[in-house]
Amino acid sequence: MGVHEPGALLFSPYRLREVTFPNRIVIAPMQMYKAAPDGKATDWHFQHLAKYAIGGAGTVMTEALIVDPIGRNTYGDLGIWSDEHVPPLARIADFLHGQGAVAAAQLHHAGPKSSRQRPWEGLGPLGEAEAAKGEPPWQPVSSTGDSSVAGWHTPRSMSEGEIQALLVAYREGARRADEAGFDVLDIHAAHGYLIHAFLSPVANRRDDAYGGDLAGRMRLALEIAEHVRESWPEEKPLFFRLSCVDWRPDLDSRTDGWRIEDSCVLARELAARGVDLIDCSSGGIRAENSMMDYKKMRRKLKRGHQVPYAETIRRETGIPTMAVGVILDGPQAEAILQAGQADLIAIGREALTDPHWGLHAAQALGIDPDWEKWPPSYGWWLQLRDAIGVEA
C-alpha cells in the first residue's frame, strides 16, 4: 500500500460485496447486559448504538446476539433465537441507516462461559442467590466437559445431534439479522466462547470428527460459516471474529494452544466459504475473562497490542482484516491503515468514554476544522463557540 495524505484512509470509503462503508471506523460489539428478560433489545440499546452513528462512526455493530438461550453469557444478553427479537433490532438498524451508517450485527454462543453473573455483579457462576431472584443457573455446553475457570459451572460435551441443531440456530440467526435490516454480520469465534472452545487444543479434547487435529477442530467453525452464508444474502459481507492466538501466560504462543499460523489456515478456509473479513482479537481461552484477570490486563496491555495479528493475516492470506484493541485516537488508527496493517478499525471502550470518537478523530487529523462533519444541529453551535472564544 502506498503513502496517502493524512486522514485520507480513515475517512475514505471501503467496499465489500455490495456494501460501501462510508469510512473505516467500526464500533465494536460491547455487551451491555441490559436486555429484557426475554432477550429483546430495549431503549437502552437504541440510545447506546444511536449515538455512535451520530458521532461519526461509519459502521455501528450491535453487541453479540445469542443464537440459542443455552448460549447466553448472562440473563442480560440480547437474543436472536426468536422471530420476536427482530422488531426492536430493526428499529435500531433503521435509525443507523438514517444517519448514513452501516448497520452491523454479531452472532454469538457463549458455550463454556455461559450461566454467569453480570460483570458488575462479579461475573462469577450463577448460584442460589441469583436463583432466588429468578435467574437460576443452567449447565453450559462446550467442546469437552471442562470448566473455563475453577469454580464456574462445568459444561457438558456437545453431542453431534446438538451440534447439528446449533448449525440450524446460527442459520436462523443470520436470517433474522437480515430481516432486521442489518448490512453486515460478524460471527463471534473468540475469547474462549463456544467456537473458540472447539478451535483451541487447550479446550478441545474430543476424539470424534469435531476434535483431534487442526482440521477436526476447525470443522465446527467452518460448518457454522457455511450455514450462516446459506441464509445471509450474497450481496452482504460476512465477518468472522477470531482470537488469533491464545496467549495464555502458561503457554508458548509459538507452539502451544491456538497460534497465528492456525488463524491463517482457518482464514483461508473461511474465505473459501464466503467469509469476507477476519475480525482480529486474541486470548480468553481460559481465565482471561474473569474480573480479576481483566484488572490485571489493564496494567499490561499496550497500544494496538493486537494489530500485528490483523497485519499478519492480511499479509499472509490476502484476506481483509479489522484491527481492534487499545486503539485510542485518530492518528493511531490512521497510522495502522497507512502501514497496511488492517482495512477497518474497531473502536470499543474509547467510544464509551467519547461517543463522538469518529468526529474528534477527523478533527485530530486536520480534515474537519470547521465542524462540517458534525450534524448541522450541533455543528453551527460549535462553530459559534470557536468564533466567540474564551478569555483566560
Q: Which residues are catalytic?
A: 193
Helices 214-231 and 160-179: crossing angle in degrees, nearest 10, is 40
Question: Distance from CA of residue 162 to its chain's centroid?
Answer: 24
Q: What H or E segment, with its residue span, contains residue 279?
A: strand 277-281
Nine cell digits for residue 354: 467519547
Residue-wise burial string across 346-384, b where 16 or more C-beta atoms lie within 10 A, e elsewhere: bbbebbeebbbbbbbbbbbbebbeebebbeeeebeeeee
Nine cell digits for residue 246: 491464545
1 vs 11: CA distance, rounded Å: 16
Cell 478451535 sits on residue: 199
Pairing relation of β-strands 14-16 and 59-66? unpaired
147 vs 373: CA distance, rounded Å: 48
Q: Is 196 left (phi over 0), alpha (psi -120 to 50) or beta?
A: alpha
Q: What H or E segment, with its residue span, contains residue 65?
A: strand 59-66
DSSP calls for 304-338: TTTHHHHHHHHHHH---EEEESS--SHHHHHHHHH
Q: What is the CA radius of gyration of the chain?
A: 21
Nine cell digits for residue 286: 481460559
182 vs 89: CA distance, rounded Å: 9
**CB-CB neighbours of 19 under 10 Å:** 16
Residue 257: partners with Cβ closer than 8 Å, 6 or more residues away: 200, 201, 202, 245, 246, 247, 248, 251, 285
Q: Which residues does residue 116 pair with via DSSP β-bridges, in sequence order?
A: 125
Question: Distance from CA of residue 78 to its chain's centroid?
Answer: 14
179 vs 392: CA distance, rounded Å: 55
